[in-house]
Amino acid sequence: MASSCRPRKMSSSQEKSPALACSMSNLPPEVEEGNVEYKLKLVSPSPSRFEHLVTQMKWRLREGQGEAIYEIGVEDNGMLAGLLPVDLTASMDTLDRMANKLGATTTVLRQRTVESEGETLEEERKACEVLVRRIPDDQQFINLRVAVLGNVDVGKSTLLGVLTQGELDNGRGRARLNLFRHLHEIQSGRTSSISHETLGFNSKGEVINYGDSQQGCLTAEEICENASKLITLIDLAGHHKYLKTTITGLMGYAPDFAMLVVSANTGIAGTTKEHIGLAMALQVPIFVVINKIDLCPKCLIQRTLDQLKRLLSGPGCKKIPYRVESDDNAVTAARHFNNSHICPIFLVSSVTGQHLDMLKKFLHVLPPSHSSLEQEKLSQELAEFQVDEVYSVPDVGRVVGGTLSRGIVKEQERLMLGPDDNGHFSPVTVHTVHRNRTSCRVVRPGQAATLAVGDWQKCTLRKGMVLVSSDLNPKACLEFEATIFVLFHVTSISKGFQATVHIGNVCQTVVISHMDTPSLKTNSQAVVRFRFIKQPEYIRAGARLLFREGTTKGMGNVTKICLEADVDR
Average confidence (pLDDT) over 220-249: 84
pLDDT over 90 (residue 485): yes
Give the lowest-confidence range in 7-11, 71-75, 147-151, 384-388. Answer: 7-11
Pair 300, 379 in one domain? no
Q: Count of CB atoms within 10 A of residue 371's CB?
A: 16
| The pLDDT value given to residue 444 | 87
**Residue that finishes a domain, picked among 80, 115, 133:** 133
pLDDT in tens, 524-558: 999 999 999 999 999 999 999 999 998 899 999 99
| The pLDDT value given to residue 179 | 65
Please tell me the distance from the alpha carbon of residue 504 to that of residue 247, in angstroms, as a whole number: 10
| The pLDDT value given to residue 458 | 78
Pair 61, 108 in one domain? yes
Please tell me the distance from the alpha carbon of residue 253 to that of residue 232, in angstroms, as a whole number: 11
Domain range spanning residue 433?
Answer: 374-472
**Residue that finishes a domain, picked among 89, 106, 133:** 133
Distance, CA of 245 to chain centre: 18
| The pLDDT value given to residue 140 | 67
pLDDT over 60 (residue 215): no
Average confidence (pLDDT) over 288-300: 93
CA atoms within 13 A on the CB side of 254: 22
pLDDT in tens, 315-368: 878 899 999 999 999 999 998 887 778 999 999 999 999 999 999 999 999 988
**Residue that finishes a domain, picked among 89, 113, 133:** 133
| The pLDDT value given to residue 25 | 62
**CATH at residue 445:** 2.40.30.10
Per DSSP, helices labelled H in 253-339 are 272-281, 298-312, 327-335
Pair 396, 531 in one domain? no
Work out the pLDDT band at 173, boundaries 50, 70, 90. low
Helix 47-63 vs helix 85-101: crossing angle, to nearest 10: 70
Helix 356-365 vs helix 327-335: crossing angle, to nearest 10: 30
Q: What is the mean pLDDT of the chain?
A: 85
pLDDT in tens, 14-57: 444 333 344 346 788 888 888 999 999 999 999 999 999 999 99
Please tell me the distance from the alpha carbon of residue 66 to that of residue 138, in angstroms, as a whole number: 11
Pair 296, 255 in one domain? yes
Domain count, the chain: 4
**Beta pairing partners, 133:** 67, 105
Q: Which residue has the higher pLDDT, 15 or 285?
A: 285
Average confidence (pLDDT) over 111-115: 86
Pair 464, 501 in one domain? no
Pair 429, 393 in one domain? yes
pLDDT in tens, 425-467: 999 999 999 887 788 888 988 888 999 998 887 788 899 999 9
Pair 223, 308 in one domain? yes
Average confidence (pLDDT) over 174-181: 65
Please tell me the distance from the alpha carbon of residue 358 to that of residue 371, in angstroms, as a whole number: 25
pLDDT over 80 (residue 3): no
Average confidence (pLDDT) over 485-513: 94
Please tell me the distance from the alpha carbon of residue 67 to that of residue 132, in angstroms, as a whole number: 6
**CATH at residue 172:** 3.40.50.300
| The pLDDT value given to residue 338 | 78
Query: What single DSSP character describes residue 348?
Result: -
pLDDT in tens, 366-401: 988 776 678 888 889 999 999 988 988 888 899 999
- Residue 64, amino acid: G
Give the lowest-confidence range in 92-101, 108-117, 148-157. Answer: 108-117
Pair 169, 104 in one domain? no
Give the lowest-confidence range in 203-217, 356-370, 403-417. Answer: 203-217
pLDDT over 80 (residue 566): no
Pair 303, 437 in one domain? no
| The pLDDT value given to residue 212 | 56
Please tell me the distance from the alpha carbon of residue 220 to that of residue 393, in angstroms, as a whole number: 18
325 sits in which H/E element: none
Pair 86, 54 in one domain? yes
Pair 155, 286 in one domain? yes
445 sits in which H/E element: none
Pair 126, 163 in one domain? no
**Beta pairing partners, 261:** 289
Alpha-carbon distance values, 4 to 20, 78, 335, 369, 379 (Å) = 11, 9, 10, 21, 35
Write down the pTM of the prediction: 0.85
Average confidence (pLDDT) over 463-484: 94
| The pLDDT value given to residue 508 | 94
